[in-house]
Amino acid sequence: MGKAKKTRKFGEVKRMINPKDMRLKQNQAKATTLEAKKQELQIKHVDRESTAMFFRYNTALGPPYHVIVDTNFINFALQNKLDLVRAMMDCLYAKCIPCITDCVMAELEKLGPKYRIALRTARDPRFERLPCSHKGTYADDCIVQRVIQHRCYIVATCDRELKRRIRKVAGVPLMSIVSHKFSIERLPDAPTGK
């Protein structure tokens, strides 16, 4: 009989935890202090307030008012048998220029033949057309971005979600339909129209 070879078994070596292992309590404590220091050193970005803002009021707004109109606002105005331009002038007691973005026009075109009267109303020559340079045709994001950049607009909408988003932007009035006439909110000198 031959001799049995003795081979070293690598699995039987005693295993040790690496001193840098995150399972050790002291390393966990170091990690949390590093995270806290990073958060303290992180530069916070603060949006600059518009120069047209005087306390809560926007001094850039004045007649003639530029009103950005949303898709559902046109539909509800037609359902309530309101002429957009005349009803806006009755609400604000001043000249109004309804503005419509390319995204809102695209949204109206996508809605199909059911909304052809709204589309015809939006193509009225009294409406000012605002070109969009971004990708996609989601009108709510487009309106919010435009209002944040230029705070010289009033936003006309009946959409609750869009109203909530616009209310977060300081100095931007909202126009909506209340009891078969237009109502304005957050415009300091305007009548309520209720």
Contact 156, 166 (CB under 8 A): no
- The neighbouring-strand residues paired with 128 are 99
Q: Is residue 93 situated within a structural domain?
A: yes
Percentage of the chain modeled with pLDDT above 70:
84
Distance CA 173, CA 175 (A): 7
18 falls within a domain: no
Let me know the angle formed at the C-alpha of 143 by 100 and 126, rounded to the nearest 5 degrees: 15
Below-50 pLDDT ranges, the chain: 193-194
Residue 135 domain flag: yes
Give me the residues paired with residue 153 across strands: 66
Q: Give me the pLDDT at residue 7, please.
A: 63
| pLDDT tens, position by position, 117-153 | 999 999 999 999 999 988 877 899 999 999 999 889 9
CA distances from 148 to 37, 63, 144, 155, 191 (A): 33, 20, 6, 12, 24
Would residue 170 count as lying in a domain? yes
Give the pLDDT confidence score for residue 85 in this predicted structure. Answer: 94
12 in any annotated domain:
no
**Amino acid at residue number 114:** K
Rounded to whole angstroms, the maximal C-alpha distance in the chain is 115
Instruction: State residue 31's pLDDT score.
Output: 86
Q: Omega into 131 within 30° of 0, i.e. cis?
A: no
Residue 24 belongs to a domain? no
Report the pLDDT value the prediction gives residue 118, as an integer from 0 to 100.
94
Determine the pLDDT at residue 55.
Answer: 61
Which DSSP string do the residues of 110-140 spell out, in sequence order? HT-GGGHHHHHHHT-TTSEEE---SSS--HH
In a domain, 113, yes or no: yes
Calculate the CA 27 to chain-centre distance: 42
Place of tokens 């699995």: 11
Q: How far apart are CA 61 and CA 185, in angstroms?
A: 14
Q: Given this model, what pLDDT does residue 123 score?
A: 94
Cβ neighbourhood burial of 31 (10 Å; 0-12, 13-18, 19+):
exposed
> What are the tokens at 53?
């803002």
Global model pTM greater than 0.85: no
The number of domains in the chain is 1
Residue 14 in domain: no
Sign of CA pseudo-dihedral 164, 130, 75, 187? positive
Q: What is the CATH number of the domain that holds 161?
A: 3.40.50.1010
Q: Using CA atoms in the order 27, 33, 36, 38, what is the torsion angle rounded to 10 degrees?
A: -80
Q: What pLDDT does 19 receive?
A: 76
Q: Domain range holding 120?
A: 61-185
What pLDDT score was predicted for residue 66?
95
Taking a C-beta distance cutoff of 8 angstroms, is the pair 163, 147 a contact?
no
